[in-house]
Amino acid sequence: MPDKPRIGLIGLGAMGLGMAACLVRSGFEVTGYDIQQRAIEKLVEMGGKAAQSPRAMAKRSDVLILVVATSEQATSVLFDDEMGAVAALPTNTIVLLCITASPEYVVELGQKLQAIDRSDLRLIDCPISGGETRAWKGTLSLLCAGKESDIDATMEVLECLSSKVHIVPGGAGAGSTLKLVHQILVGVHILASVEVMGLCHVAGLDPQSVYDNVMEGDGRSWLFEQRAAHILDEKRVPASSLAIITKDMVMVTESGRLREHSLPLASIAHEIYTLSQAAGWGPEDDCRTLNLYLLGKGDVESLRRHPGGQNSSKGAVEESMVSDLLVGIHTAAAIEVLRFAQKLGISSSVVAEVVQGAAGSSAMFSKVAAEFGSSANDSLRSIGGFDSVRNKLVCLPRSRSRPPQYEYAYTYITGKSD
């Protein structure tokens, strides 16, 4: 292998193109493939090379990086009879699987490589987190699982793409298991962020003022910062595809079902994303779930045009209550994630380390994770400050305009229901 390995990258979308750009800037020879010709042209303009099929690219790759959207796409670009990359990959090529997939799929992928006598290919389960902006900056979080020697051999590539490389024990599939646990936070936090911005619109609150207030307190999260800013100005911060997070939440809830473990908040998020996709918003960004929340009362565009919202409900909800609402949702989500990780045999310290630098981070997760495990029966009631969170939620006005996730968090934390 030369001083810098030759990189083949399949999937030049929102994340993949940014990753390719980082590698090119760092002096790697990068050849890219995507079904969209314009994406390949952009890579060439940045100094990369073009390939017209995965197989053509594979012939000149020491490290193959997959950043496609789904497991089905990964299978196709690897094993297609006419264009699949596997048939042409040089011996001992490292395959970085940078997608959100079920751990079962990753294990089956390794088994399939062995079945076709390509056990020489070194598979690293390497899901990514951080969003488009961090992909371009080379500051993604990577969850790497595989043989230690293979990860070490690829470290120069990994460090070019990431501000933090997490080595996940357990072999291929372990990285994807941890990523699915993390995606509960991503799915819940996106929806919570979008819904509270819709609540601001209905309640006649100034969304920019609410944004500033939330970001100064315990209601803040990385995704609130991103999604609320995008709702206020779509050019300010890029969002992500609704179809992608819907796909992820399907896998999350299925994982819980297979293990007979209840994931209430994740299930609510899954249902709302599915409804939004069924409404035809799948190809658009995930902030379009706001349209479902505001059904009959406006949409994303009307919120941007009239940031002061509707006047009829002014006074019923105060700015501080929005932050309290997010604190409740984030607290419930943190417990849901940590208990699921516990079910899967993943330590809370490992989850906390990953979440801290990833898209699922929030002020409340850090606080809850710090105390998780200190009680024989970890629950919301065992968390310090629980009574304060509970009392604030009890005091919030009951309203038909409250987000669906809030209704669950309210019942879960307070023990009350309408």
- Residues serving a catalytic function are 179
Element (H, E) at 99: none
| 355, amino acid identity | V
| SS3 call for 267 | helix
| 227, amino acid identity | R
Beta partners for residue 124, in sequence order: 96
For tokens 């607290």, name the residue.
Answer: 331
Residue 164: phi and psi, rounded to 5, are -155, 115
Cβ burial of 395 (10 Å; 0-12, 13-18, 19+) is exposed
Q: Measured between alpha carbons, how far is 101 from 106 in angstroms, rounded to an integer?
A: 7
> In angstroms, what CA-CA distances link 264 with 150, 328, 405?
38, 14, 9
Q: How many CB atoms lie within 10 A of CB 58?
A: 25
Q: Going by C-beta distance under 8 Å and a sequence separation of 6 or more, which residues neighbour residue 281? A: 242, 288, 289, 291
Are 327 and 389 in contact by the 8 Å Cβ rule? The answer is: yes
Q: Measured between alpha carbons, how far is 276 from 290 in angstroms, rounded to an integer?
A: 9
Kindly write down the DSSP assignment for every residue of 206-234, as one continuous string.
-HHHHHHHHHTSTT-BHHHHHHHHHHH-T
Q: Measured between alpha carbons, how far is 201 from 357 in angstroms, rounded to an integer?
A: 31
Residue whose C-alpha is closest to residue 367's, from 403, 195, 380:
380
Q: Measured between alpha carbons, how far is 180 from 252 in angstroms, rounded to an integer?
A: 6
Q: Measured between alpha carbons, how far is 22 from 159 in angstroms, rounded to an integer?
A: 10
Size of the chain in residues: 418
Element (H, E) at 284: none
Residue whose C-alpha is closest to residue 133's, from 39, 23, 236:
236
Q: How far is CA 97 from the centre of its chain?
A: 16
> In angstroms, what CA-CA distances link 273 with 134, 232, 242?
24, 21, 7
Beta partners for residue 128, in sequence order: 142
